[in-house]
Structure formats: C-alpha cells, structure tokens
Amino acid sequence: MRTHLLLLLASATFAQADWKSDMLEQGTTLYENAKHKTVELYKELKPLALDQNRSKEAQMNAIWDDLLPQLEKGLEYTDKLEKAPDSAWIGSDKKDIRHDIDKVFDRIIDTLIDDDFLSYKKEINSLQQDIASNKNTIAFYREKKISAPAQSSIKTTKADYAKKIEELQEENLDNERRIEQIKGRLIQQFADIGVNLSAEQINVLLTRVDGDDIIQMALMMDVLKHITNQIMVLMKENNEDLAYAKKYYGLHLVSLELVVYIQQKYIDKVDNVYIPKIDTIMFEAQKMVAETKRLAASEMSERRKNIYEKNIQTQELTAHVAQLYKQDLITSKISMINAQKITKKNLQLARNTYKTVVLSADLYELISESQNMFSEVSKIQVPNIVPFENMQIQKKYYELTKLIQKK
C-alpha cells in the first residue's frame, strides 16, 4: 500500500513539474507572439524620427518659433547687464542678471535638444534591450530543444524550437541593422556640420560618458547655424531699418553667448564631475591591485595563487583603461577650450559691433562671416576620437562609463 502511495505521489510530482514546464513554455510563447506583434506595430507607427517623421527644415522652423522669444529675452537681459551695477543693495546687479541669462540659456538648450534630436539614444537602447531579451529566450529554447520530441501533435518539437530560434536570430539581425542605420544617421548629422566620423568613432562616442555631451553640442551647433540663417533673412528683409538691424544683430550676439555658455558647461562637467569620478575609480583599482598582490604573496596554494594572478591582470586592465579614459577626457576638454577661444573672439567683436551700431549692410556681412565660425568651432570642439584597439578595451570602457554614471 505504502509503495503504491509513493508511486502515486511521485507521479503527481512529475506531472506537476511537467505542467509547470509546459505553462512556462506556453507563457514564453505567448510573450514572444505579443512582443513580435508589438515590434511590428512599433515599426509601422514609430518610424525613425529624423528620416520619416518630418523633414529637417520643418523641424528647424518649429524650433525657430519656440526659440525666437527666448533669444529676445536673452537680448533683453544682455542689454540690462551692460547698464547694471557690479553690486547693489536694491535692485538687480550684474550677478543677478547673469543668473537670469543662464536660466534663459538652459531653457534654450532644452528647446534645441528635443526628443527628436535625442531619439537616437532611446532607439538604440530599446533595440539593444530587445536583442538581449531575444538572446535569453534563445538560450531557453535551446535547453528545451534537447528534451523535445522529434515529432508530436501536442508538444513543441525539436523542429518547432529550431524555427523559433531561427526567427529570433533573424529579428536580432534586423535589430542590429536598425542600430547601424541610426549610427549612419548620426554620421550624416556630424557631416552636416563639417565633421567626418567613421562608424568606429561613433561607437566610441556612444560608449564614453561624455559622448552624449559631444553629440548634443554638435547637433546644437547645426541648429544655431540654421537660426543664424533665419536672422540673416530677417535682416535682409529689413535692411532699411537700422533699429531692426540692431535687434537682429543682437539676437546673433545672444547665440554666440549661448555657444560660449554651452562650451563652458562641458568644460566644467569634465573638470568637476567626470575626471573626479574616474580618479576615484583609478584609486580604487590601484588599491585593489595592491591588496590582491599582498594576498597572492602570502598564499601557499598554487591553485588559489593562480586565481589571484588572474584577478590582478583584470584589476590592472581596469586601472590602465581608466588612465586612458581620463586622458581622453582631458584631450576632449582641451579641444573644447580651443574651440571656446575662437568663439570668445567672435563674441568680443560682436559685442563691440552691437554697441557701435554700424550700417545694417555691415552687420549682415558680419553675421554671414560668422557661419564660417560655427563650422570651424564645430570641427575643433569634436575631439580626435581614436577607435578602440579591441573588444576587450571597448567592453572595459562601457563598464567604466556605467561606474562613472553611478558614482
């Protein structure tokens, strides 16, 4: 009797385990079908922002409508700054007005860097998450495929699992192609401002902690070139009215002030955020190397000593790559400082000219020449990006970027 009972319990246990396995399999299948339909719907309803959603010209015009009042507000504060006292007990002084200008500039930056211009990051992250999810599901299907029947009208067969795996692999290839298309779009956007980058250099930018900053500045410079063109058109249409000529040249002056502000924000971020964090990581890595070497020296077991030696190699690689990372950040900062020097010289001339209020034709000519400045600065402030030597270095850069963002 007891034997029968044990057999009955064992049978129920196996049936329950098999039932749970089938439920997990069915749940995974339902999830995959739902996700597949969602992906297809996403492809239909969410085309690539810059390529299909609306033309670049329409984007720029929409930005102009939002940007003009903010540029005018910036010009208003610029005029006030010139007349304000260095310090005041009552009323605003230069420090107060400078703070107001900075707030206007921050709002302008938010306007320039809208969702469309930053969509590349969201798109790539979403596709990479899909790829990782598919890889996990593929691993699960490979495990299930081992014990699956060769033929069955009820259960999932080996051929069924093979087909599921093949479909997910094809989906991943499609996702990889879409990521490359997005990178190609970034390459084109840099080319539009006169900066030629390879796919490998874009990979570096997307891995580095300051990559978003550099990409955003490049995109903003492209927009500001377009804004300057709009100002030139307005100035030409009102070339007989000196008051309007001065106003439009003032808007151009504000745009140069904005460029200096953006450049300084990057320089300060590298000095005060990125480099201190990478210094901390370097210190911790070097401290870990010293500690592991001490433990290895006192270890008698060859097996454990070998593991310590491997740990030391990994830790020394982290310290080495962190040093390379820091040098890259310093090089980028130097590039930005050099670009800012050019911007400041143009800004100094623009301020002097704005105060002088020369003939509108002269003002138009000066704005026209500044277009060359935007191109020159764009080229200088994008550092010389060296592609990764190998996948190991790239992976370590990615790990360090995550650490910098957490600290």
pLDDT value of position 229: 83
pLDDT averaged over 10-residue windows placed end to end, the chain, 407 residues? 43 42 47 46 41 58 82 91 79 86 90 68 88 95 93 91 95 95 87 84 88 84 82 78 82 92 94 94 93 92 92 92 93 93 91 73 70 79 82 88 85
227 close to 72: Cβ distance less than 8 angstroms = no
pLDDT given at position 237:
80
Question: What is the 8-class DSSP label of residue 57?
Answer: H
Using alpha carbons, list the distances in angstroms from residue 109 to 63, 208, 259: 11, 21, 10
Class assignment of domain 209-407?
A: mainly alpha
Identify the pLDDT of residue 226.
81
pLDDT at position 56, please? 64
Instruction: Show the beta-strand stretches assigned E in 269-391.
Output: none
Predicted local confidence at residue 379, as pLDDT? 80
pLDDT at 333: 94
CB-based contact 257:406 (threshold 8 Å)? no
Residue type, 219: L
Residue spans in the chain of domains classed CATH 1.10.287: 209-407
Look at residues 348, 342, 346, 354 and name the one whose alpha carbon lies nearest to residue 249: 354
Contact 339, 380 (CB under 8 A): yes
User: Is residue 85 within 8 Å of residue 261, measured between CB atoms?
Assistant: no
Please tell me the distance from the alpha carbon of residue 397 to that of residue 323, in angstroms, as a whole number: 11
Q: Which two tokens stand for residue 266?
A: 């990057």
Q: How far is CA 118 from CA 2, 220, 295, in A?
A: 69, 11, 47
Q: What is the pTM of this model?
A: 0.75
Whole-number Å distance between alpha carbons of 218 and 380 = 11
**Residue 275: Cβ-neighbour burial (10 angstroms; 0-12, 13-18, 19+):** middle
Question: Could you tell me if 340 and 262 are in contact, meaning their C-beta atoms sit under 8 angstroms apart?
Answer: no
pLDDT at residue number 117 = 56
